[in-house]
Amino acid sequence: MKKITTALFGLLITVSAFADWPIFTQRYTADPYSLVHNGRLYLYCSHDFLKEGAESRPERGYFMKDITCISTDDMKNWTDHGEVFDVKDSKWGAKLSWAPCVIERNGKFYLYYGDGMNCMGVAVSDSPTGPFVDTNDGPIVDKKTPGVMEGSGGQWGMWCFDPGALIDDDGQAYLYFGGSHPDNARVIKLKENMIEVDGPAVKLNASGFFEASFVHKYRGRYYLSYSGHHFSKPSNIEYVTSDHPMTGFDNPGIAMTPPPVNDGHNHHHSIFEFQGRWYMAYHNRQVAHDNGVESQALREFTRNVCIDELFYNEDGSIRPVIATRDGVDQLKYVSPYNHPYRAHTMALSKGIQTAPNNDGGRYVTELNDGDWIMIKGVDFGLPGAARFMAEVAGVSKGASIDLRLDDPNGVRIGTCNLEPTEGGQNWVIQSTLTNNAVGVRDLFLVFRGQGNDLLNLNSWQFEPK
């Protein structure tokens, strides 16, 4: 969601607390699916937005047409990779991209997505950050796929969506999906090429199943988790386990109760191990509340991604995950000295957006007076930092960057008064001296000036004393 929509819908990007719940605020994101690759955690998310309807009023509905990707190596600072798949890159003409999952095989990355509730497509990329392109002649699974409709039930019928992929230890790949009723949980084998199915879909025993299939393994056992019992409330993340990927699921349990600030809606999740710890990613509606979306009916379609740690009991059962404001540890601190730090990596922000850069990355833009980005856990060390450098473009007269510690109004360690520049991506480095930047601190870059669109920021860096 760009800031220009604020005048239309009255939505302002603000954050009520400097913690990691939620973890991403510059756009609405939901249905996070996890992938660990080369020491980084990637989350692939549905991209919610409010569509303009009659009389410039927002319409209710899930209109997601692209997939947002964010990644981290420290669990606090997240790199915004933008939209890595768009339905316009579907050869067969998909109209929607709901609830993605991504899996890697033989150096390629496969993104499965729901074209609404009726079928699923698959897009492929050579990189975890895309671009993903769907070159198939049609969906990989639809309601005509053998086994999909067999034995389905519920007042809404089969929802053929919410894919979750698993490649087992023997190399066999599976796709889990379905929705709206416990009789509608399905799994189907995938061929080696990952873009074709192998045989019919098989019905799963998933007590209370509603939607949001996800499968992971722990100590050799398969855990099928999902959003359950939504039709009778509350909507927990529930799970069943088995010794086989397609049959025998039983022993139902609860992996997470409804998160706070979720207006009673269901939530969608993924479970993963990263650097020796287990986590659950999920979504709630906190950003919509912070943005002043007063209508609960509209908040249903404006979600945001969160993460908390997950623990197992000795018998392998999952302890219900507790939603916290700041319950995830930072796994390593940020070095401000070794190389330029790209500005589209941050822990939290206010009022900013990111846009594609001409080098394939992204930069921070749409900056007005008082907007900021926060980088969590910057290790200035001793004796600390002597100079700050910013790679900027499109600088307005009188624009500056205030450098603050721990809070947007915290201790000021310097102010970088910027000289005007031409061109939105003609990058120049401007700098200032700094004081009192020592130890491990949270760094706020606060943007100051008159008017709108004060500058674009590509990267920043400090020089040590």
Active-site amino acid positions: 31, 211
Residues 6+ apart with CB under 8 A from 368: 3, 351, 447, 451, 452, 453, 454
Nearest residue to 11 (alpha-carbon basis) of 353, 402, 372: 353
Instruction: Name the strands in the sheet holding 250-256, side by side, starting at the edge strand that comes first in the sequence.
Output: 209-218, 221-228, 236-242, 250-256
Question: Measured between alpha carbons, how far is residue 277 from residues 60, 77, 167, 269, 314 in Å?
Answer: 38, 17, 21, 17, 15
Distance CA 416, CA 150 (A): 65
Tokens 């067969």 correspond to 92
Measuring CA to CA, which residue among 199, 208, 201, 240 is closest to residue 222?
240
Identify the CA nearest to 301 among candidates 24, 18, 16, 29: 29
Tell me, what DSSP letter sits at residue 235?
Answer: -
How many other CB atoms are there within 10 angstroms of residue 428's CB atom? Answer: 15
Cβ-proximal residues to 112 (8 Å cutoff; 6+ apart), any chain: 100, 101, 102, 103, 120, 121, 122, 140, 163, 165, 175
d(CA 68, CA 84): 6
Here the tokens at position 404 are 């603050």
Q: Give the E-state strand segments of 313-407 in sequence order.
A: 318-319, 341-342, 345-346, 348-350, 353-356, 362-365, 372-379, 385-393, 400-405
Task: Determine the Cα–Cα distance for residues 86 and 273; give it in Å rounded to an integer.
Answer: 28
Chain centroid to CA 138: how far?
A: 27
Q: With left for phi above 0 and alpha for psi between -120 and 50, is residue 341 left, alpha or beta? A: beta
Q: Among 103, 25, 30, 112, which residue's Cα sits nearest to residue 63? A: 30
